[in-house]
């Protein structure tokens, strides 16, 4: 379960920033792409475990799901895929492999409290 090691890294990064600013972390905001290889529920569970006994204990992990967005060469536009199994434009059916979004695993914000 690699989500635990990811959660521990998130906690470490947030804790470092909190110590640097001398504040408490209330929540960590994260963008999680459908192609990131991370299971959201496992990450949420692992985050709670990783926070135990740290200054982040009791904080929240707020996850924003990022859908798979590809560039369709036929339509000449970005398109959101309906399924991760079919890398085809949902409108015209053209095949594409150019992923614009969906691989994200990014901390976007920290909610801090003095």
Kindly report, residue by residue over 30-62, the tens digit of the pLDDT.
999 999 999 999 999 999 999 999 999 999 999
Backbone phi, then psi, for 79, in 5-degree steps?
-140, 145
**Residue with token string 């475990």:** 49
Does residue 89 have a known ligand-binding role?
Answer: yes
Is 75 among the annotated ligand-binding positions? Answer: yes
Give the total residue count for the chain.
Answer: 114
pLDDT at 15 over 70: yes
Contact predicate 96/2, CB 8 Å: no
Residue 2 assigned ligand-binding role = yes
- Domain extents for the chain? 2-67+102-113
Question: CA 104: distance to chain centroid?
Answer: 6
Confidence of residue 82 (pLDDT cuts 50, 70, 90): confident
What's the whole-model pTM score? 0.90
Mean of all residue pLDDT scores within the chain: 96
**Apex 102 CA angle, 26 and 13, nearest 5:** 30
Which fold does the domain 2-67+102-113 belong to in CATH?
A: hypothetical protein PF0899 fold (3.30.2320)
């Amino acid at each position: 379960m690699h989500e635990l090691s990811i959660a521990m890294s998130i906690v470490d990064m947030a804790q470092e920033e909190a110590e640097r600013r001398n504040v408490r972390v209330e929540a960590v905001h994260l963008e999680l792409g459908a192609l990131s290889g991370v299971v959201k529920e496992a990450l949420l569970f692992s985050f709670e475990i990783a926070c135990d006994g740290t200054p982040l204990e009791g904080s929240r992990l707020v996850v924003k799901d990022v859908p798979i967005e590809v560039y369709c060469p036929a339509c000449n536009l970005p398109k959101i895929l309906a399924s991760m199994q079919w890398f085809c434009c949902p409108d015209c059916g053209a095949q594409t492999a150019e992923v614009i979004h969906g691989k994200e695993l990014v901390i976007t914000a920290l909610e801090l409290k003095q």
